[in-house]
Amino acid sequence: MSRSVYPVFQILESLRVQLADLMVSFDVVCLFTNVTIVDSLELLSHHFEDDALALFKHALTSTYFGFDGQFYEQTDGVAMASPPSPLIAIFFMEDFENKSIEQATCKPVCWFRYILVDDTFIIWPHGQEKLREILNRVNGLHKKIEFTLEKEEKDHLPFLDIDIYKKKRTFPEGTSKFGTPSKKNNLYLHQYSHYHPANEKAVHASLIHRAKTL
């Protein structure tokens, strides 16, 4: 088993996948707002000195935002778009993954998590029934963390901006390749959603970059 982060596609062609293996992706539901402050501070205390830990605590427990003339305080979870939030979530997910994989009786061939935290590509060699078991196991480890599961269809699995598929050979094993999928509903941002104009421009820029790169 191998574990890594970004970018997955650089190692895809080197993977040897048995045709009976399943390609699946796990995605955490609303990760940032479900990363609990108490657990995060406890985990960070094992990696940072007291002065740095105090700064983390201040950043995580003083989250305020305004809406429609009212101010609100976020009482738990790391704030979306806050600079320290991705770092906190990465520490949280690394610890969560280590515990879940170590405790699993059946382990994946590979477990690759994208650096932006909550999208994970997995090659699973133990069949459909055991796949459901490990999903239930990881969903039972923490009261706030819940994964959704997407399985390959016709040897294809959309993951981030790529379409991963098995390249079949005359041998009992194949390699994984990748192409470019499109979003199922073709919707990136609703035109009347309350997004900053920079987000709307970023959608256009990212699609142009994606077309040129992939």
Q: How far apart are CA 214 and CA 211, in angstroms?
A: 6
The pTM is what?
A: 0.74
pLDDT of residue 7: 54
**pLDDT of residue 81 exceeding 80:** no
Tokens at residue 118, please?
């909550």
Is-contact 204 49, C-beta < 8 A? no
Tell me the pLDDT tens digit for each residue of 105-127. Answer: 899 998 888 766 688 989 999 99
* Helix/strand/coil for 131: helix
Q: Angle, to 10 degrees, between the axis of helix 37-44 and the axis of helix 50-60? A: 160
| Residue that wins the pLDDT comparison between 170 and 153 | 153
| Residue that wins the pLDDT comparison between 182 and 147 | 147
Q: How far apart are CA 157 and CA 65, in angstroms?
A: 38
* Residue 183 DSSP class: -
* Helix/strand/coil for 202: helix
* Helix/strand/coil for 212: helix
Mean pLDDT estimate for the chain: 82
How many other CB atoms sit within 10 Å of the CB of residue 128? 10
Tell me the pLDDT tens digit for each residue of 140-151. Answer: 999 999 999 999
* Residue 76 DSSP class: S
Q: How far apart are CA 81 and CA 157, in angstroms?
A: 29
**pLDDT of residue 55 exceeding 90:** yes
Q: How far apart are CA 73 and CA 1, in angstroms?
A: 42
Tokens at residue 51, please?
């002065």
* Helix/strand/coil for 157: strand
Mean pLDDT value across residues 122-137: 92
